[in-house]
């Protein structure tokens, strides 16, 4: 009995061959499941990484300018050049961050222009030039290429960031353009930042006004032989005018343009240039192009500069570069004007032509590499 009992105990304490087989199968399946989960995770990560590498980042483009004129490296101090370069880079960084996150072209151009309006180096906002009466009168406009909606203000003296008020005109009123005190009242009601006019004073711009007055006094001469006025304002090519602007194409395929300026030094009688004129200094249309101009505004208005380029592209089937070059490099100087512009078309191609010695400009595309240029 003891021997039988001992055998039974031995059999019970030790699994049968069938039971052993079941244990081995369970162990195998458990190990296989663990390995399978690991392989699944590895393949999943590999697929995700591969897919990301194969899908390029969605296209976006931002182009900015800070004015065109007689900008010579020989006349630029290293400190001032760095100041301009840093400011342009900051504006590009601000706008491109919005585009990189999938934000709108409208938000990007407004944000970029606000940076330049707040910098006294540029003739817009804080750095605006003085009128003949010693005031700072500001103009700005913005346009949505998707809807062709637009907003503009002109002749304002108290609005810190005119470009934002121009956008408010576009989005929060039934109008396209407002001027003077009415625009300022509208800005106040919309919660725009209002400043005392003294905020816009800068010593460099005040000295510029004194130089312009002296030059005008010296050139108001009528040639006794030709009977032609010598008031061609050659000083325009240096310190008399300037503008800032931005154009963008966002990841959704929408275009936008924005322009802001203090106008022309020593301007009189409420003069308004091309910057707040939709179709002249600013234009955007998703079918074609977004443009912001800078230069002698009277000629940009007469040429309907920005809209003409868009029409050359839409109806004349021209590419952006030849259309922009035709207007800036040929037709503008042929009339006696000068200046430049920035543009981006619906496919992300850019143009930055100018017929002056230089133009503060820069651009950035998807990938984030910024390019800033000043001279020819």
Q: Which residues are catalytic?
A: 243
C-alpha closest to that of 344 among 63, 113, 59: 63
Q: How many CB atoms lie under 10 A from the CB of residue 182?
A: 13
180: left (phi over 0), alpha (psi -120 to 50) or beta: left
In angstroms and rounded to an integer, the radius of gyration of the C-alpha atoms of the chain is: 32
DSSP 130: P
DSSP 56: P
DSSP letters of 231-290? ---GGGGTTTB--EEEEEE-TTS-EEEEEEE--BTT--TT---STTSBTTTEEE-TTSEE
By residue count, the chain amounts to 376
| Token pair recorded at residue 39 | 């392989």
Cα-based distances in Å from 84 to 78, 223, 228, 259, 319:
10, 40, 39, 18, 31
Q: Which residues contact 61 (CB under 8 A, 6 or more apart)?
A: 99, 248, 249, 344, 348, 350, 363, 364, 365, 366
Q: Which residues contact 311 (CB under 8 A, 6 or more apart)?
A: none
> What whole-number distance in Å separates Cα of residue 335 and Cα of residue 269?
24
Torsion sign (Cα): 201, 154, 260, 375: negative
Strands 138-144 and 370-375: unpaired
Cα-based distances in Å from 218 to 211, 212, 214, 234, 237:
11, 10, 6, 12, 17
Cα-based distances in Å from 295 to 70, 122, 233:
11, 13, 13
Residues 272 and 263 sit within 8 Å (Cβ to Cβ):
yes
């Amino acid at each position: 009995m003891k021997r039988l009992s001992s055998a039974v105990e031995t059999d019970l304490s030790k699994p049968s061959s069938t039971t052993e087989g079941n244990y081995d199968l369970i162990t195998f399946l458990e190990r296989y499941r663990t390995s399978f989960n690991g392989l699944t995770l590895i393949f999943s990560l590999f697929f995700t990484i591969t897919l990301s590498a194969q899908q390029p980042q969605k296209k976006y483009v931002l182009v900015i300018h800070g004015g065109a004129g007689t900008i010579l490296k020989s006349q630029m101090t290293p400190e001032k050049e760095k100041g301009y370069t840093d400011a342009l880079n900051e504006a590009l960084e601000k706008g491109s961050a919005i585009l990189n996150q999938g934000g709108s072209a409208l938000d990007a151009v407004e944000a970029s222009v606000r940076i330049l309006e707040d910098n006294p180096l540029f003739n817009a906002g804080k750095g605006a030039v003085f009128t003949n009466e010693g005031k700072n009168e500001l103009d700005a406009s913005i346009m949505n290429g998707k809807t062709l909606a637009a907003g503009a203000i002109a002749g304002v003296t108290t609005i810190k960031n005119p470009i934002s008020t121009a956008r408010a005109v576009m989005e929060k009123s039934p109008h396209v353009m407002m001027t003077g005190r009415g625009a300022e009242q509208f800005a106040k009601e919309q919660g725009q930042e209002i400043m005392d006019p003294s905020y816009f004073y800068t010593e460099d711009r005040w000295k510029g006004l004194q130089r312009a007055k002296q030059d005008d006094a010296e050139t108001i001469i009528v040639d006794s032989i030709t009977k032609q006025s010598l008031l061609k304002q050659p000083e325009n090519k240096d310190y008399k005018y300037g503008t800032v602007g931005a154009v963008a194409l966002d990841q959704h395929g929408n275009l936008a343009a924005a322009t802001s300026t203090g106008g022309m030094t020593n301007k009189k009688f409420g003069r308004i240039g091309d910057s707040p004129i939709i179709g002249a200094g600013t234009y955007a249309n998703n079918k074609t192009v977004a443009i912001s101009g800078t230069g002698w505004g009277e000629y940009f208005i007469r040429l309907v500069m920005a809209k003409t380029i868009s029409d050359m592209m839409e109806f004349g089937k021209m590419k952006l570069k030849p259309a922009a070059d035709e207007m800036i490099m040929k037709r503008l100087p042929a009339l006696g004007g000068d200046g430049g512009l920035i543009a981006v078309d619906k496919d992300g191609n850019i143009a930055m032509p100018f017929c002056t010695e230089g133009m503060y400009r820069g651009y950035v595309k998807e990938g984030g590499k910024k390019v800033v240029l000043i001279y020819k």
